[in-house]
Structure 1
Amino acid sequence: MIKHTNTKHSSGNADSEITVVNRRLFLRSAGLATSLGTIIIAAGCSKDDHPMIPGGEEVNLGSGDIGVLNYAYALEQLEAAFYAKVVDSFYSGATDAEKAILTDIRDHEIVHRDFFKAALGSNAIKGLTPNFDGIDFGSRAAVLGAAKLFEDTGVAAYNGAGRLIKDPNYLLLAGKIVSVEARHAAVIRDLINPKSMDFAGDDIIDMNGMDKAVAPGDILAAVKGFVKDMINGANVGK
């Protein structure tokens, strides 16, 4: 489940958005403001936990490396759509620093989304339809809490899918993207709970000091409530 939002940032105007990203190679102000809950990896969710929303379609990600790339593309669509909606109308009380950080993240996610779409070409899945009805975009806590969930889930997803990639070039690119997603996750956690150690909490880092890795099936179960389409990832990496 995932979609392009109908905002000025989620489609079109890609060249200007990429230019903005090129001017901002790193996130600014990685030491600001606020925290929320832990990542909700819904491993073992049943089909009835998040039933397909009426009007949604089943989207098959495919198999092999194409399936893995479409899996990443689906997740990047979700993140790009979420941050486009956040930036289109910031929550009440957002500081200039928070606006700058969230805008940077939006720009990064748009580039990631468009990269996968271009790389996949005719093998790319369609533009998915997000379902953000459960998120109060006027609430700082709700927005940053959702951002934390999406970023932590994204890092775990890339880590879990890496072993399924057969082409070393794709693996290298995935490694570069997941490092950016981890930066996003860290700065969001710092906004939620400033000057704490939560940026590398034990809910996301294991006893060996490694980021957790989660299989595609569990990630798709975790995010399906945020997408109107039913995503079929049964053959990802096979």
Structure 2
Amino acid sequence: MKNNELITQDELQEERLFNSSLGRRSFLQFAGASAAGIALMAAGCKKDRNYGDVSMGATLDFKDDFGVLNYAYALEQLEAAFYVKVASAPPSSFTTAQKAYFQDIQFHEVAHREFFKNALGTAAIGSLEVDFSSIDFTNATSVLGAAMAFEDLGVAAYNGAGVRIKSTDYLVLAGKIVSVEARHAAYIRDIISNGTFADLASLAPLGAVNANGLDGALTPDKVLAIAGKYVKTKINVINL
């Protein structure tokens, strides 16, 4: 880090956790060799792409799989930023177990984010600026409500994006991640109200079909419209 570079307390906390042995271990166990393989594919096929500068906003180009991967990367940035903030200073009413679980979820989301960032290489969009002003991080109800919203939306986003993925390797990857997001969603829902983890009827607005036991699925435009409340960076969508 450059001496004249200004970073926030949340970024300092994230740097510490990611440099810790647990942070590194969590990422390496999740990513493994597959991340390197996807990164090589991205570098070999898309050397002309460089979306790192988001000063004019971030562009998600859905003409190919890289647009879908960047879409997932954007959502994982949002989730990781949220959980890093919660884990660094959880609400005082959180139990010891809840604090531990939110730490674990934090590592999962940071691992997801870093996986996409490294896999996409120069094809990755830059870091998004988030806006959590509507969340009271000192209040457990506010934090849990936001966590449920993020997790439920994340599951619907991956489910809705699956049809756009052409590569079977990427599709398998998305399936592995969405299953983890669903575990998070189930846990958060049970903290809020025990036994509601399987309440698909309440997820009808996200596309769930309770009668068929199907979880939600939303198209990227609908997901981004909902997530936009928490993102300051303008996200441009083309070829959707």
2:171 aligned with 1:171? yes
Supply the AA of the counterpart residue of 1:138. Answer: T
2:214 aligned with 1:214? no
2:237 aligned with 1:233? yes
Q: Relative to structure 1, is the Cα distance of residues 57 and 191 closer, same or farther in structure 2, using a 3 angstrom cutoff?
A: farther
Larger helix proportion, structure 1 or 2?
A: 2
2:24 aligned with 1:18? yes
What is the match of residue 103 of structure 1?
A: 103
2:207 aligned with 1:201? no
> 2:185–2:197: 8 Å Cα contact kept in structure 1?
no
Total equivalences in the alignment: 202
State the structure with more CA Rg: 2
| 1:137-152 equivalences in 2 (<5 Å) | 137-152=137-152
What is the match of residue 162 of structure 2?
A: 162
Deviation at 1:7, TM superposition (A): 3.2
2:97 aligned with 1:93? no
| 1:172-191 equivalences in 2 (<5 Å) | 172-191=172-191
> 2:157–2:220: 8 Å Cα contact kept in structure 1?
yes
TM-score using structure 2 length: 0.78
> 1:58–1:232: 8 Å Cα contact kept in structure 2?
yes
TM-score using structure 1 length: 0.79
Q: Relative to structure 1, is the Cα distance of residues 232 and 128 closer, same or farther in structure 2, using a 3 angstrom cutoff?
A: same
Supply the AA of the counterpart residue of 2:196. Answer: M
Question: SS at 1:218's partner residue?
Answer: helix
> 1:7–1:85: 8 Å Cα contact kept in structure 2?
no
Deviation at 1:200, TM superposition (A): 3.4
In structure 1, the gaps of 5 or more residues are: 25-54
Larger RCO of the pair (alpha carbons < 8 Å, separation 6+): 1
Percent identity between matched residues is 48
> 2:60–2:70: 8 Å Cα contact kept in structure 1?
yes
Q: Which one is further off, 177-186 or 63-72?
A: 63-72
In structure 2, the gaps of 5 or more residues are: 1-7, 31-53
